[in-house]
């Protein structure tokens, strides 16, 4: 990390958050707290909640272990991203710019932008479904209304990154509270929950076979690996300015790991609650959409449960959208050294996400919403290798990482790390 730090793109005039090296551990933790909150909200986005509901409704509690493992995988990836950025002073997008020639760089940028837009489609549909449940607004109009959150993001850019972190934290807290309310309305089976935490390679029941099990197992394991998240957190940690001594850098590793672990633990708790809720109330009726889940909640637990679910979805969609503008800006700036106004980035990405969603829902009806969310999640998962392989290559490089190179037990051989983007630019 550069000694002077780097300003947040939403509020360049605010500059950096300077860490007080002489403060108590608690005060330092509070100064580091923030990036993990913005990352955690993506773990409770509409796509993940849909996977939770379907997993619980089809296989009851049996996929709880996969949910826990997937979030641990997510924590590992997020931690190594922060490790790279704190060590080099550059975020993941900047490392790609410096490492690869133009054509490779454009391809890598396109893949992660595609993932960002696909994720945004999920946020759009989740928000629109929540509006339909709460107000009765037709789904296709709800899709258009979601474009208004662009102005929310634009307004927040003048108040600084800390304000954004606080607002997203409040929205995330509302999501957590809504789901905790839901869990008190059901009577889950404790033996079933404990059994669900036991890993199993395959499982089937009277209605669903091993094929369905594998599909949902992969969906759970893949949902936690979101490329835009890697770029976002790798940039946000550089907003915190620290001393460049080895002790301070290792301290930054520790505090970032602690705050990310805490935030992802809360996100995991939300997902566990949703899966338990689906297992307790929906099993064995397969739930494949947010609207279907809301209807079943209303029928089994009453209007209050359905309303709490919709509010949680609305907050999750809005908070995820706010993080989306940050990640898109960092990606664009890092890959091409472009400084693009936030309103341009937000407007373009939101229009690209909204127009196809509106046309499909308007033409083919609201039943297509679940398919849109599912296909958006598939697109996000398809581009994961094009983010993870370069990331692994950087982490295995002693030239970049020095004494902070990835521990050997986590390393992949450097020559294998670089096989995908094999055209390396000569080092200057």
pTM: 0.83
| Structure confidence at residue 264 (pLDDT) | 92
Domains and CATH numbers, the chain: 18-417 (1.10.4160.10)
Q: Which three-class secondary structure string do you get for the chain?
A: CCCCCCCCCCCHHHCCEECCCCCCHHHHHHHHCCHHHHHHHHHHCHHHHHHHHHHHHHHCCCCHHHHHHHHHHHHHHHHHHHHHHHHHCCCHHHHHHHHCCHHHHHHHHHHHHHHHHHHHHHHHHHHHHHHHHHHCCCHHHHHHHHHHHHHHHHHHCCCCHHHHHHHHHHHHHHHHHHHHHHHCCCCCCHHHHHHHCCCCCCCCCCCCCHHHHHHHHHHHHHHCCCHHHHHHHHHHHHHEECCCCHHHHHHHHHHHHHHHHHHHHHHHHHHHHHHHHHHHHCCCCCCCCHHHHHHHHHHHHCHHHHHHHHHHHHHHHHHHHHHHHHHHHHHHHHHHCCCCCHHHHHHHHHHHHHHHHHHHHHHHCHHHHHHHHHHHHHHHHHCCHHHHHHHHHHHCCHHHHHHHCCCHHHCCCHHHHCCCCCCCCCCC
| Structure confidence at residue 410 (pLDDT) | 64
Each residue's pLDDT, cut to its tens digit, for the chain (428 residues) gives: 444 455 555 544 344 676 766 778 788 888 888 888 888 888 888 778 888 888 888 888 888 998 898 889 889 899 999 999 999 889 999 999 999 999 999 999 999 988 888 888 888 888 888 888 888 888 888 888 877 766 666 666 667 777 778 888 888 888 888 888 777 778 788 888 898 888 887 777 767 778 888 878 877 777 777 888 899 999 888 887 777 778 888 888 899 999 999 999 999 998 898 899 888 888 878 887 778 788 877 877 778 778 888 888 888 887 887 787 778 888 888 898 776 676 677 677 778 778 877 888 878 777 777 777 777 777 888 888 899 999 999 998 888 888 888 777 666 554 444 444 433 343 33
| Structure confidence at residue 44 (pLDDT) | 85
């Amino acid at each position: 990390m550069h000694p002077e730090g780097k300003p947040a793109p939403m509020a360049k005039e605010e500059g950096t958050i300077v860490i007080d090296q002489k403060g108590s551990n608690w005060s330092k933790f509070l100064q580091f707290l923030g990036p993990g909150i913005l990352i955690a909200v993506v773990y409770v986005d509409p796509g993940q909640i849909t996977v939770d509901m379907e997993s619980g409704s089809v296989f009851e509690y049996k996929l709880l272990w996969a949910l826990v493992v997937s979030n641990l995988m997510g924590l590992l990836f997020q931690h190594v991203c922060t490790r790279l950025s704190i060590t080099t002073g550059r975020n993941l997008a900047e490392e790609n710019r410096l490492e690869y020639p133009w054509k490779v760089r454009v391809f890598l940028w396109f893949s992660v932008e595609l993932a960002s837009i696909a994720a945004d489609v999920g946020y759009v549909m989740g928000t629109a479904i929540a509006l339909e449940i709460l107000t009765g607004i037709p789904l296709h109009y709800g899709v258009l209304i979601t474009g208004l959150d662009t102005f929310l993001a634009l307004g927040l850019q003048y108040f600084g990154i800390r304000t954004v972190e606080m607002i997203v934290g409040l929205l995330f807290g509302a999501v957590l509270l809504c789901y905790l309310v839901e869990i008190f309305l059901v009577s889950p089976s404790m033996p079933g929950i404990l059994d669900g935490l036991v890993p199993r390679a395959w499982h089937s029941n009277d209605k669903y076979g091993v094929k369905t099990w594998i599909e949902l197992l992969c969906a759970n394991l893949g949902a936690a690996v979101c490329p835009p998240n890697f770029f976002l957190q790798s940039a946000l940690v550089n907003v915190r300015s620290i001393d460049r001594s080895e002790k301070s850098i290792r301290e930054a590793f520790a505090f970032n790991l602690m705050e990310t672990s805490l935030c992802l633990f809360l996100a995991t708790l939300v997902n566990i609650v949703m899966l338990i809720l689906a297992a307790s109330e929906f099993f064995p009726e397969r739930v494949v959409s947010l609207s279907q889940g809301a209807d079943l909640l209303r029928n089994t637990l009453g209007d209050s449960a359905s309303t709490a679910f919709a509010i949680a979805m609305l907050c999750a969609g809005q908070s995820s959208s706010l993080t989306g503008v940050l990640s898109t800006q960092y990606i664009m700036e890092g890959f091409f050294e472009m400084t693009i106004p936030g309103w341009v980035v937000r407007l373009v990405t939101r229009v690209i996400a909204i127009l196809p969603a509106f046309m499909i829902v308007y033409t083919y009806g609201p039943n297509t919403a679940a398919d849109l969310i599912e296909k958006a999640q598939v697109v996000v998962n398809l581009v994961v290798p094009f983010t993870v392989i370069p990331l692994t290559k950087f982490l295995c490089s002693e030239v970049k990482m020095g004494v902070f190179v990835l521990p050997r037990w986590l390393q992949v051989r450097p020559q294998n790390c670089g096989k995908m983007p094999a055209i390396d630019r000569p080092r200057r």
